[in-house]
Amino acid sequence: MSQSPRANAERLWQSLRSMSDIGATPAGGVTRLTLTKLDGEARDLFVGWAKEAGCTIRIDPFGNIFARREGRRPDLPPVVIGSHLDTQPAGGNYDGVYGVLAALEVVRALNDAQLDTERSIEVVSWTNEEGARFQPPMLGSGVFTGVFSLDFGLSLTDKEGIRLGDALSDIGYAGTDHIAATSIHAALEVHIEQGPVLEKEAIDIGVVTGAQGQRRYEIQLTGQSAHAGTTPLDYRADAALGLARSIEAVRRIGIAQGEAARATVGYVSLSPNSPNVVAGGAVFSVEFRHVENNTLDIMEEALLKEIQQIADDTKLEHSVERIIDYAPISFDSRMVDLVEQTAKQYQYSYKRMVSGAGHDACYLSRVTPTAMIFIPCVDGISHNEAEQIYPNWAEAGANVLLGAALAKANDVEK
């Protein structure tokens, strides 16, 4: 046990602090949207550090950065570790950034320990994980793994009409290196939990077994807008009433599937949305999440039935359109076991858990054995300037990443 190399907690924390200066907000968070000048600065800082640590830098045509610490056998597929440097607007200092800098700390710690590995280790920073400036999220890893075509990704535009491809060129990160997604030995991503469980239960490490599936719907209810004074209640086709009943129904559908189910109405819009007019139309979102696809099927069926019933009862027309369908992800069981074993080896408390959010690792898991490591974050707050972690939490995640990456980098059997 004592021979296990360890992350340098202070260096990791210092690096996090320095990175936080780029795009820092007065409230202590950071705004560093993908492919902005600030994102370019963050990339430059990371690349500079990686070079100092002896890495070779490659950048693919979508701007994903790969910093390679060469192994003894460069011909073998590498182990890929990392996350993303972009943030939400008024976002936090750790979502994604921690995963990239902890991966960099793995390289630095291996250098300190003068440990060579059989396979190369590549620290990766994926482009546009957040999907705040360009939709959809997890775009860099999605293009890399073939979920989206390169042309699709490059031709997306932001609110100002700027093409992603142009933004990428402007900051100097339109690379020309072709890195094959098909020859990666294993992938690992460490990330803050973005939920309250680990902190509440005082657990150091989340051993992530997979990610929830997600389905999102856009629902329209159409009635008749009418004068609020002259139209008796019985003669109304009131979309606001249909909306209210639908929100209740969505919660019921969630509760019926137990603790692991999530059911959310997060967006609503009434028209004409005027205090003295009966609403003639309602548009709202419904989002379901669960680890089992067939539970999502059951929830969807219940939703269609409930909305039909509500529309009939309230004399409304209705339409339900499914606009997102992400299947649940199960990470490679041997990779999950490895993360658990490594947490044990470093004597951290741990718990198996499912990710409630999407991550680059979800797409990576399509092309290579993949797992994720979670660390706690204060009050589970994320995508927020108040996002906070402590140095010892950061250290624990980096140590588990280090141990697991080292094991995979020395695993020369196919």
Residues that bind Zn ion (CB under 5 A): 95-96
Residue nearest to Zn ion (CB): 96
Residue for token digits 């939703």?
303
Q: How many Cβ atoms from other residues are within 10 Å of residue 276's Cβ?
A: 7
Cβ 90 to Zn ion, closest distance in Å? 15
Phi, psi values for residue 332, rounded to 5°: -55, 125
Cβ 370 to Zn ion, closest distance in Å? 15
Please, are residues 123 and 81 in contact by the beta-carbon 8 Å criterion?
A: yes
Nearer to Zn ion, 296 or 372 (CB): 372
Whole-Å CA distances, 321 to 137, 189, 272, 287, 288: 20, 33, 22, 12, 13
Nearer to Zn ion, 358 or 369 (CB): 358
Please, are residues 188 and 79 in contact by the beta-carbon 8 Å criterion?
A: yes
Cβ 360 to Zn ion, closest distance in Å? 8
Nearer to Zn ion, 34 or 225 (CB): 34
Cβ 404 to Zn ion, closest distance in Å? 19
Nearer to Zn ion, 24 or 357 (CB): 357
Cα–chain-centroid distance for residue 142? 12
Cβ 46 to Zn ion, closest distance in Å? 15
Tokens of 376: 């706690």
Q: How many Cβ atoms from other residues are within 10 Å of residue 293's Cβ?
A: 13
The DSSP element (H or E) to which 330 belongs, if any, is strand 329-330
Nearer to Zn ion, 208 or 237 (CB): 208
Cβ 218 to Zn ion, closest distance in Å? 25
Q: How far apart are CA 247 and CA 26, in angstroms?
A: 37
Nearer to Zn ion, 324 or 412 (CB): 324
Cβ 129 to Zn ion, closest distance in Å? 5
Tokens of 128: 């546009």
Nearer to Zn ion, 95 or 204 (CB): 95
Whole-Å CA distances, 170 to 166, 173, 281: 6, 8, 43
Q: How far apart are CA 368 and CA 220, in angstroms?
A: 40
